[in-house]
C-alpha cells in the first residue's frame, strides 16, 4: 500500500520544527501582512520575488500542470505542518507595547499585559508562513489547515498567527504576572479563540503575594472557551522514569524543536515536547484524575478540582531538553520497545498510567534523579552520545514500536 505523507514522516519519529535559512517570505517574521494581500498580487510576482531572493535557484514552470493530488503532496512535503494532528505555539504574556497602551486604556494602578511572540514561535511557524505566502493555491491549503488566527501585540504593529483552535495548543510563558488582577490582562482576538493552553513552570514564578493555585485559576478565567490546561513539567526531580512512560505511547503528541544557530549562549538548542492526544484518546484523561503528583509541585488536587468545575481538564506536558533530557527520551523509547517485545498483549497500552504517588526504589535508580536537574545513571543509556546523534536516531525504530502515527 502506498504510504501517505504522515506515514513517511513517522519514520523520522515525531513532528519536527527546525530553524532554516531566511527567505523573502520571512522578512516580516510573524506578520501575515503579505499573505493577506495575496489576492491582489499575481502568482508570477511572488514567484519572481522568490527567485530573486534565492539567487541561483531554478523555477519549475510546469508545476501548475501537475495533477492536483501531486501538487498537494509536494506542498505537504514542503510544509509537513499542514498534516500535523496537533501543533504547539510559544506565546509570552508581557507588558503591552507603547502603541497598544496608547490605543487601549489600562487600569489605574499598572499597565496592560498582552500576548506577544514567544522565544521559539518564529521557528514553530516558519514553514506555515512560507506556504501561506507562496501563491494562492498553497495559501488555500494553509488556510484550510489553519482556519483560525491569534492576534499578537508586537512592538511595531499588530500581528496574527494562524492556527487550528480545535487541535493546537498555545504554550504560555510570563513573569511577575501574578501580581495583577484580571483587569490588567488585555487579549483582544486572542483569549476567546483558545481552547487548549499549556502553562510553563516559569509562569509568574517570582511572586510571593498570593497563592499559586488562586493565581492560576484567576488567570485561566480570562479564556472563556478553554477546555484543557496542560501544565509543563520542565524539572523532573519529582518524577520517576515510571511516571514518564506515557511520553512514548502511541496516544501522545511528540514534537521535536531545533532552534539551531538562533540558540543563545547556554540555551538548549534542541527540545522535545510530549502531551496527551486528547482529541483521539479522551480516555487517557481518566487515570490523571488521581495523578495530581504528575503536575508541577505548585499545583494540587484543589486546583484540579476547581478547574474541572470550570469545564477545564488539567493534564501534564513534558519538555525534555539538554543532553540528559534527550538521552532520557531515548531511554524511554528503548524501555517501551523492550516491554512490547516481552508482552503477550499490547492492548490498552495507551492507558497503562501509574497513579501511585510512591515510586519504587528501582524507578528512582533508573531515573537517576538529582536536585534541580535530571540525569540518567544507567550503563545502557545514551549519555555519551552527542545531542545531534541522539536526535538523529529518535525515529529509527518508531514505526515498529507503535501502531499509531505520532503526528
Among 392, 260, 244, 399, CA closest to 329: 244
Residues paired with 19 in a beta bridge: none
Phi, psi of 124 (to 5 degrees): -65, -30
For the chain, which residues score pLDDT lower than 50?
1-12, 21-28, 31, 33-55, 237-238, 348, 351-407
pLDDT attached to residue 168: 97
How is residue 332 written as a grid cell?
A: 524511554
Q: What is the four-CA torsion angle of 283, 285, 288, 294, rounded to 10 degrees?
A: 130
Residues 6+ apart with CB under 8 A from 101: 111, 112
The answer to whether residue 15 sits within a structural domain is no
Answer yes or no: are the C-beta atoms of 235 and 325 closer than 8 Å: no
- Tell me the per-residue pLDDT of 261-295, one tens digit each, with 9 for 90 and over: 666 666 677 889 999 998 888 877 666 655 555 66
Distances (CA, A) of 149 to 5, 33, 99, 146: 25, 13, 21, 8
Residue 219 domain boundaries:
210-343
Q: Render 103-166 in DSSP notation, one character per residue.
A: HS---SSS--EEEEE-TTHHHHTHHHHHHHHS-HHHHHHHHHH--EEEEEE-SSSEEEEEE-TT
The strand order across the sheet containing 169-174 reads 15-18, 252-258, 270-276, 313-321, 228-233, 196-199, 169-174, 88-95, 113-117
Residues 6+ apart with CB under 8 A from 337: 397, 400, 401
The answer to whether residue 215 sits within a structural domain is yes
Answer yes or no: are the C-beta atoms of 272 and 329 closer than 8 Å: yes
The answer to whether residue 312 sits within a structural domain is yes
pLDDT attached to residue 274: 92
Answer yes or no: are the C-beta atoms of 76 and 58 closer than 8 Å: no
CB atoms within 10 A of CB 127: 19
pLDDT attached to residue 375: 34
Give the C-alpha separation, 161 to 121, whole Å: 9
The answer to whether residue 306 sits within a structural domain is yes
Distances (CA, A) of 33 to 38, 132, 144, 191: 9, 11, 18, 22
Answer yes or no: are the C-beta atoms of 150 and 89 closer than 8 Å: yes
Answer yes or no: are the C-beta atoms of 87 and 169 closer than 8 Å: yes
- Tell me the per-residue pLDDT of 92-144, one tens digit each, with 9 for 90 and over: 998 888 888 777 776 766 778 899 998 889 889 999 999 999 889 999 999 99
- pTM given for the model: 0.74
Q: Render 241-265 in DSSP notation, one character per residue.
A: SGGGGGGGSTTEEEEEEE-GGGPPT
Domains held by the chain: number: 1
The answer to whether residue 94 sits within a structural domain is no
Distances (CA, A) of 74 to 1, 17, 79: 19, 18, 9
Answer yes or no: are the C-beta atoms of 283 and 348 closer than 8 Å: no
pLDDT attached to residue 6: 38
Answer yes or no: are the C-beta atoms of 248 and 332 closer than 8 Å: yes
Residues 6+ apart with CB under 8 A from 35: 129, 132, 133, 139
Q: Which H or E run includes 295? A: none
Longest dimension (CA), the chain: 66
Amino acid at each position: 500500500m502506498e504510504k501517505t505523507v504522515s506515514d513517511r514522516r513517522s519514520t523520522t519519529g515525531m513532528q519536527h520544527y527546525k530553524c532554516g535559512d531566511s527567505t523573502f517570505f520571512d522578512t516580516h517574521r510573524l506578520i501575515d501582512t503579505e499573505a493577506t494581500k495575496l489576492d491582489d498580487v499575481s502568482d508570477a510576482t511572488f514567484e519572481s520575488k522568490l527567485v530573486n531572493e534565492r539567487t541561483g535557484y531554478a523555477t519549475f514552470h510546469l508545476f501548475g500542470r501537475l495533477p492536483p493530488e501531486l501538487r498537494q503532496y509536494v506542498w505537504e512535503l514542503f510544509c509537513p505542518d499542514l498534516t500535523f494532528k496537533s501543533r504547539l505555539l510559544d506565546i509570552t504574556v508581557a507588558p503591552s507595547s507603547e502603541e497598544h497602551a496608547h490605543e487601549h486604556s489600562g487600569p489605574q494602578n499598572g499597565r496592560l499585559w498582552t500576548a506577544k511572540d514567544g522565544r521559539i514561535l518564529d521557528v514553530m511557524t516558519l514553514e506555515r508562513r512560507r506556504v501561506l505566502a507562496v501563491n494562492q493555491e498553497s495559501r488555500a491549503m494553509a488556510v484550510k489547515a489553519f482556519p483560525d488566527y491569534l492576534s499578537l501585540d508586537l512592538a511595531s504593529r499588530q500581528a496574527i498567527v494562524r492556527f487550528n483552535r480545535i487541535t493546537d495548543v498555545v504554550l504560555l510563558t510570563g513573569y511577575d504576572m501574578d501580581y495583577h488582577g484580571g483587569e490588567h490582562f488585555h487579549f483582544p482576538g486572542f483569549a476567546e479563540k483558545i481552547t487548549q493552553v499549556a502553562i510553563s513552570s516559569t509562569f509568574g514564578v517570582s511572586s510571593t503575594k498570593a497563592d499559586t493555585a488562586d493565581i492560576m485559576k484567576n488567570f485561566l478565567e480570562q479564556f472563556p472557551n478553554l477546555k484543557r490546561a496542560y501544565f509543563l513539567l520542565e524539572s523532573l526531580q519529582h518524577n520517576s522514569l515510571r511516571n514518564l512512560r506515557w511520553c512514548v505511547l502511541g496516544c501522545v503528541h511528540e514534537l521535536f524543536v531545533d532552534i539551531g544557530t538562533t540558540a543563545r549562549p547556554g540555551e538548549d538548542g534542541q527540545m522535545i515536547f510530549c502531551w496527551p492526544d486528547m482529541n483521539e484518546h479522551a480516555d487517557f484523561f481518566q487515570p490523571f484524575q488521581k495523578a495530581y503528583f504528575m503536575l508541577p509541585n505548585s499545583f494540587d488536587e484543589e486546583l484540579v478540582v476547581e478547574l474541572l468545575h470550570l469545564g477545564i481538564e488539567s493534564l501534564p506536558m513534558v519538555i525534555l531538553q539538554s543532553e540528559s533530557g534527550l538521552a532520557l527520551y531515548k531511554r524511554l523509547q528503548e524501555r517501551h520497545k523492550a516491554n512490547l517485545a516481552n508482552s503477550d498483549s499490547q492492548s490498552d497500552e495507551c492507558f497503562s498510567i501509574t497513579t501511585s504517588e510512591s515510586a519504587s526504589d528501582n524507578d528512582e535508580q533508573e531515573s537517576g534523579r538529582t536536585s534541580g536537574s535530571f540525569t540518567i545513571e544507567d550503563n545502557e543509556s545514551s549519555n555519551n552520545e552527542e545531542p545531534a546523534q541522539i536526535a538523529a536516531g529518535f525515529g529509527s525504530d518508531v514505526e515498529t514500536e507503535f501502531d499509531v502515527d505520532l503526528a
